[in-house]
A and B are shown apart, each in its own frame.
Chain A
């Protein structure tokens, strides 16, 4: 398939690998955080970790929107379905994220909640049109890629004068999460999470452009290379990061020029700012309250804001004590450092959010990487 297969060519991967081994200086340690879950998925699926020199380490960041969704937010959606009788529509991944009381949206559905999986906000809108006697709430999550479609949905609902449709907005922002990580004590004070640079988001950057990352390069002296989600893109980005570190540079470079420019999709940005405004603070799973890191619906569209329409109050809920998702999302721990990984917590029965989406660090490692953790014993016949 065009623009996919060419970027998965194994022979070229070997050539980039050879360059990486030639250019990574043996005396140095390189630690790069890939922010996006899409990159985490690609790294596990294509075994990119094994192709890298041993002194180049990838740290998984908090760039999976399902993984960073806190329990309290899912509880609100469940409350709308079970207590307020609303039809709650959401993306497939969101359905299985564990919530309070052993519930998830899919389990709340089994208890009689009218919860429906949709492919897009437009599908939720269609349900609202078909069932005018019911309240329909779109539980909207995601980074800057998913936000413009939600904005479009809200604007369409207003233009059509729909009276039974609203959005539970949980849209979050990439740059503020990266700032939060760079400001975290693990990175700044303790140095437990060494970060020499970032593999910058692919699809998020199509929308917001590469300019918002220039601040990290300048202020924190961290190189950022925006990369596509195919394996060659990721390997090339790591090579570009190694070169920046070697040369003492900290710049924003763009490997994904086929889809990303400096300004991004201005049309989508205008729509987002018409419908949404900044929230003062928003809780992320693993990162806690992050100032100015999420969006809420502007007063002009208040009737489509489920939080106002239903008078919802947010209650933070602590994660399961045994679950290490929080530390994994901050890059402090690896999935295998969690004692319930692969035993109690599996993709079929996730305890933590990182095990839910295929882009979560735990699910990616469980699906593609865990067998290499098992020591191979060779028994020699006598």
Chain B
């Protein structure tokens, strides 16, 4: 039910519709709930509607947080005699 996936908005269409693409599959969805979305944005699509956007900067930061963690662990391993 709560399956929703980040897909890229590749075209905006009249009537608050948009075309998204994920791994080569294209589908028309509603962007009425995310009226500020622009082409190129990654939107989270649930039951045929975009319900939110992905913030690329925050995504990078989260990945970097995992990264820091691995650096930390690597440093710990390196510190072992």
The 4 A-B pairs at the shortest CB distance, nearest first, are namely A120-B48, A206-B52, A258-B59, A15-B70
Indicate whether A64 reaches chain B with its CB closer than 8 angstroms.
Answer: yes
Q: Give the contacts of B63-77 with A (CB-CB under 8 A).
A: 63, 65-67, 69-70, 72-73
Chain B residues near A93 (CB-CB < 8 A):
1
- Which of A's residues lie within 8 Å of B, judged by CB? 1-4, 6-7, 9, 11-12, 15-16, 18-19, 36-38, 63-66, 91, 93, 119-123, 141-143, 145-146, 148-149, 152, 201-204, 206-207, 229, 232-233, 236, 255-260, 265, 267-268, 271, 357, 359
User: Contacts A203-B44, A236-B66, A268-B33; is A149 near B55 (CB within 8 Å)?
Assistant: no
Chain A residues near B46 (CB-CB < 8 A):
145-146, 149, 203
Q: How far is the CA of A202 from the CA of B46 in the complex (A)?
A: 12
- Which of B's residues lie within 8 Å of A, judged by CB? 1-6, 8, 22-23, 30, 32-35, 42, 44, 46-49, 51-56, 58-59, 61-63, 65-67, 69-70, 72-73
Q: How far is the CA of A260 from the CA of B59 in the complex (A)?
A: 11
State whether A65 touches B69 (Cβ < 8 A): no
User: Contacts A3-B59, A259-B54; is A149 near B2 (CB within 8 Å)?
Assistant: no
State whether A206 touches B51 (Cβ < 8 A): yes
Q: Known pairs A2-B8, A4-B6. 6 more at Cβ < 8 A?
A: A9-B66, A36-B2, A206-B44, A258-B58, A259-B58, A260-B52
Q: Which of A2, A122, A141, A152 contacts B6 (CB 8 A)?
A: A2
State whether B23 touches A1 (Cβ < 8 A): yes
Closest chain B residue, CB of each to CB of A11: B70
State whether B59 touches A148 (Cβ < 8 A): no
User: Contacts A2-B8, A258-B59, A268-B33; is A15 near B1 (CB within 8 Å)?
Assistant: no
Chain A residues near B49 (CB-CB < 8 A):
120, 122, 148-149, 152
Chain B residues near A2 (CB-CB < 8 A):
6, 8, 42
Specify which of A3, A38, A268 lies most central, judged by the most chain B CB atoms within 10 Å of its CB.
A3
